[in-house]
Chains A and B, each alone.
Chain A
């Protein structure tokens, strides 16, 4: 069975500084990896995904994530944080051969302070 761990419940950064939100996964076989963001009173919004190919994936709003197979990680990064990036971020994994069951992490609350 696949699973995702987000080791930090909360991440605080200052506006303009780089941010990293961590994610590690466990899955048999090749994984599909996703990042979603959730703003208050709104649904989850897709940010980016890794399927295959380049380990560095670029997504919406200037976010990127690096797939590291040896460390089974898929950390979300942004070079310069904005106050508007403050939200709840979820990492998710799906087995390559299984299209339906996506497992989410517990989420990391990102707060960007001006």
Chain B
């Protein structure tokens, strides 16, 4: 399967613990996005990368959240000192961007985080 993959699919953690999620985008895509989705809502933009550069972060992304894409391929999203309000589905998406093209984003299956 050459789609976007995310690992793990589910994560249960205790409040105060750190968690890290991984996203592997479609190989030829240079843009990678992170979203958060809570029940009954659409995905909310968190941050995105073009190659290895993190170009924008939403105000939703508190200081406890950090994302990296060190080699311009896979990305990690870390949440430090988790809170119950962090419980959500974390979605990763990727797209290709070249010049003025505006291509659709392809989404992974998501990582469901439950903070107890």
Which residues of A line the B interface, CB within 8 A? 4, 32, 34, 36, 41-46, 49, 51, 90, 92, 94, 96, 99-107
Contact partners of A102 in chain B: CB under 8 A: 45, 105
Q: Which of B40-79 contact A (CB under 8 A)?
A: 40-45, 48, 55-56, 58
Contact partner of A41 (CB less than 8 A), chosen from B102, B107, B109, is: B109
Contact partner of A43 (CB less than 8 A), chosen from B42, B44, B91, B104, is: B91
Contact partners of B58 in chain A: CB under 8 A: 101
Contact partner of A100 (CB less than 8 A), chosen from B48, B91, B107, is: B48
* Cross-chain contact A101 with B45 (CB below 8 angstroms): yes
* Cross-chain contact B42 with A100 (CB below 8 angstroms): no
| B4 nearest CB across to chain A (Å) | 7
* Cross-chain contact A34 with B44 (CB below 8 angstroms): no
User: Can you give 28 A-B contacts (C-beta < 8 A)?
Assistant: A4-B42, A36-B107, A42-B109, A43-B91, A43-B108, A43-B110, A44-B107, A45-B107, A46-B104, A90-B42, A90-B43, A92-B42, A94-B102, A99-B102, A100-B48, A100-B56, A101-B56, A102-B45, A102-B105, A103-B42, A104-B42, A104-B43, A104-B44, A106-B40, A106-B41, A107-B40, A107-B41, A107-B42
Contact partner of A46 (CB less than 8 A), chosen from B33, B43, B102, B106, is: B106
Contact partner of B42 (CB less than 8 A), chosen from A51, A99, A101, A106, is: A106
Contact partners of A42 in chain B: CB under 8 A: 109
Docked pose: A45 CA to B108 CA in angstroms: 9
Contact partners of B43 in chain A: CB under 8 A: 44, 90, 104
* Cross-chain contact A100 with B45 (CB below 8 angstroms): yes
Contact partners of B41 in chain A: CB under 8 A: 106-107
